[in-house]
A and B are shown apart, each in its own frame.
Chain A
Amino acid sequence: MDTTAQLNPTTEQPLAAAPRLTLSGISKSFPGVRALHDVSLSLYPGQVTALIGENGAGKSTLVKIMTGIYQPDAGTISIDGKAVTLPSAHAAFGHGITAIHQETVLFDDLTVAENIFLGHAPRSRFGTIDWRTMRKNAREVLDTMGAGHIDADARLKDLGIANKHLVAVARAMSIDAQIVIMDEPTAALSLKEIEELFLLIEFLKSEGKAILFISHKFDEIYRIADRYTVFRDGEMVGEGLIRDAGQSQIVRMMVGRAVDHIFPQRKAEIGAPVLTVSGLSHPTEFDDIGFELHRGEILGFYGLVGAGRSEVMQAIAGITRTSSGTITLEGKSIAPKSAADSIDAGIVYVPEERGKQGVVIGLPIFQNISLPSLKRTSKSGMLRLAEEFALARSYTERLDLRASSLSQDVGTLSGGNQQKIVIAKWLATAPKVIILDEPTKGIDIGSKAAVHGFMAELVAQGLSVIMVSSELPEILGMSDRVIVMREGRIASVYDNKGLDAETLVKTAAGIAA
């Protein structure tokens, strides 16, 4: 294990040495995916520990283990030195562990007081809820936090997100939670609200709470955290005091990795521009997006989650509308009004959420593959089953799909094979441009390699590919050029020659190189 920064308790203010919560040797696997491997994490009273890592590094899985939603396959959890088990969310709550999520998980139609005391409301002599005491206690908790402006009787849905966070914290205070997990709490907040949240975190620190703070934003981490722990690919790769570590050092820990996956070699024969996008804007999601995609090129789109990459792609694919801008495909200007328009023009979008947007579970494999091509496999509205089967067979063979029969329900296939079907179904429309949104998210290594190999084959045949990905090795291993988006705009365009992961992460996060 590569521990770059060492704990040094003698500098500046003294920091408590005894951790409140210790996780050690935690491992967790899902079918085909190893989410966490032998990770450790310690949270100290009165201190904020930042958990840092790329998407898929295992942060969410760890939070779910700490809150009793997942059970670890191995490892121990101890609180104040005593080993505990967290078999349920209720048990975690009982041990004083509480989590505040990006989108608060509270009840919109209940009042602030009800939300704070749900599950542990004060009771009257007759066993009914003692409403008066509950309201009084709620007001007291809010007051101690400096959140007296929140009306305990207001419905939660009438509060803004920042105030909802405050209610979530008040709930944590009301159960006397000693361990508070904040999972990207600032993602949906304005700058002013973030400042208020930080004041609250300072307050929690002064109350001696141990806080885990998860964020992608380095300025926030440096502003609020005392310690850091870095995860990469489900392993803990470094920890220490924030004041001893520079940003570049942490970025290096996040991205540095051994090559565990060999990307296909291909001869780049980049041709003329196929797709030209210019000045593409959306009222709320993205602004002034312009780029060119060449024949035979793989163009990578990198950025943090929420940078607007998928939204741009959905606009190009006709699924959402734009407010201005032009899309030109092979010299012809197109303005797709629906997915069908884009498919007809020769642009297909393979969506990110395989289960919700990609496969149609309940329909057999061949029907899934022919779905976007029904116009071609039918004649005046009548299906031609032989053609459908032929189409499905040719693409499943090319993608090396393992299924007993093309009439098998796609729901019975593994995630990797489902992803192959999703890709097959779009390729079957014979597109000119294929947009892949997180094409290998959540699938096993073998299927990943198959998808990457197939992408290389596609561009060799003269197709053009846009690949939206949050996985750095994939971006660096597959792209000819990389566009980095930040906050709805293109931050930078790089030629993938000697490009390194650190540059991409810094550009995406807005850190000066």
Chain B
Amino acid sequence: MKALLKYREVWLLVAIVVLIGLISMRFPGFANPANLRQVFNDTSILMILALGQMVVILTRSIDLSMASNLCITGMVVAMLNAAHPTIPIPLLIVIALLVGLVLGAINGLLVWRLNIPSIVVTLGTLTIYRGATFVISGGAWVNADQMSPDFIGLQRAAFLGIPVLSWIAILVNALFFLLMTRTALGRSIYAIGVNPTASVYAGIDVGRTKFIVFCISGMIGGLCGYLWISRYVIASVEVANGYELNIIAACVIGGISIAGGIGSVGGAVLGALFLGIISNALPVINISPFWQMAISGSAIILAVVLNARGERRQGRIILKKAEAA
């Protein structure tokens, strides 16, 4: 199965290279390193969000509230920064993580303790969190001129020629890679996604593990709240409205099975990059943004079809071996 997963990611990587090649034919500058670095930086937030969503989807759940979480956490840190510009930015980031964690924990507790399907829980909190943003802000915006230079400047600072935002994405990637391949929690996440019943018998607390993955996606939503607001320098109730679908799209294109248990960090990253390249490239080659939606949508369906075929092929292998045995 690992070989197959690799195959799937390699396939996606090839698709991305082909895509870059096609775009370069119309716009030769696209493939140069400086531009690709820019594309990576532009995609960083989506990539981080997709990783948070991935751990949830792996456990056969879904977090629809991530974008709303991002919105309210972004508003909280923006208002704090506007009111108290002296609060150091690292502390603000910690606050963003904690606010996100609390919001994620609410989702997790409802899923765990009340046994409500996650799609229902997070559909509810999606609306609640966005509504709460309106309540705390009174509907007002926080504009660029109200934010401190540090607040805006941190992610733009370059380190070794690469913006801090990209470094944060790389760091989060590394942490998730460790989580999924080297920790007992990561192993449990895969196990309960593949076979929840057998996991219960193996002594894994399925409910608690789900609670933890919602805490993780919540923290990621919170972190991205700060990153998003400081990048687009405006905090409002409309921030990232509907963006949860882009996050899920990145996961699905990246080969993460909505049925749970199948998917990898590499897949989520490539899925996000695929969407990032499309949204970056189409405007420069003069294709209407509406086509962008159609292309993303087709990519999702294509990815699901290919993944379904991959899984079916796996089934045939089992049968063949069973016959031989």
Residues of A within 8 A of B195 (CB): 356, 359-362
A362 touches B2 (CB 8 A): no
Residues of B within 8 A of A382 (CB): 182-184
Query: How many residues of A sit at the interface, in one of the four size bands?
Result: 35 or more
Inter-chain pairs besides A357-B198, A359-B198, 10 sampled, C-beta below 8 Å: A319-B200, A338-B205, A349-B201, A360-B194, A362-B194, A364-B2, A383-B181, A383-B183, A409-B1, A412-B317
Residues of B within 8 A of A270 (CB): none
Closest beta carbon of chain A to B201's beta carbon, Å: 5
Give a binary string over B198-213; 1 marks a CB under 8 Å from any A CB, 0 the rest: 1111111100000000
Closest beta carbon of chain A to B271's beta carbon, Å: 20
Residues of B within 8 A of A374 (CB): 184, 187-188
Does B325 have its Cβ within 8 Å of any Cβ on chain A? yes
Closest to A353 in B: B197
Closest to B261 in A: A362
A358-378: which residues lie under 8 A (CB-CB) from chain B? 358-364, 367, 371-372, 374-375, 378
Q: Given contacts A31-B325, A371-B191, A378-B184, is CB(A339)–CB(B203) below 8 Å? A: yes
Q: Which of A317, A360, A364 is the one whose CB lies under 8 Å from B199?
A: A360
A68-120: which residues lie under 8 A (CB-CB) from chain B? none
Q: How far is the CA of A364 from the CA of B191 in the complex (A)?
A: 11
Residues of B that sit less than 8 Å from A by CB: 1-2, 181-188, 190-191, 194-195, 197-205, 261-262, 314, 317-318, 321-323, 325
A420-457: which residues lie under 8 A (CB-CB) from chain B? 425
B187 touches A371 (CB 8 A): yes
Counting chain B CB atoms within 10 Å of each CB, which of A319, A359, A374, A382 scores highest?
A: A374
29 CB-based A-B contacts, threshold 8 Å: A317-B201, A319-B201, A338-B203, A339-B201, A340-B203, A340-B204, A349-B201, A351-B198, A356-B198, A358-B198, A360-B191, A360-B195, A362-B194, A362-B195, A362-B261, A362-B262, A363-B1, A374-B187, A381-B184, A381-B185, A383-B184, A383-B186, A383-B187, A409-B314, A411-B314, A412-B318, A413-B321, A414-B321, A414-B325
Q: Across chains A and B, which 8 residue pairs bring their CB atoms closest together, nearest first?
A: A340-B203, A414-B325, A362-B194, A378-B184, A372-B202, A339-B203, A409-B1, A374-B184
Residues of A within 8 A of B205 (CB): 338, 340
B1 touches A364 (CB 8 A): yes
A32 touches B325 (CB 8 A): yes
Counting chain A CB atoms within 10 Å of each CB, which of B2, B318, B325 scores highest?
A: B325
Does A407 have its Cβ within 8 Å of any Cβ on chain B? yes
Does A401 have its Cβ within 8 Å of any Cβ on chain B? no
Q: How far is the CA of A75 from the CA of B291 in the complex (A)?
A: 62
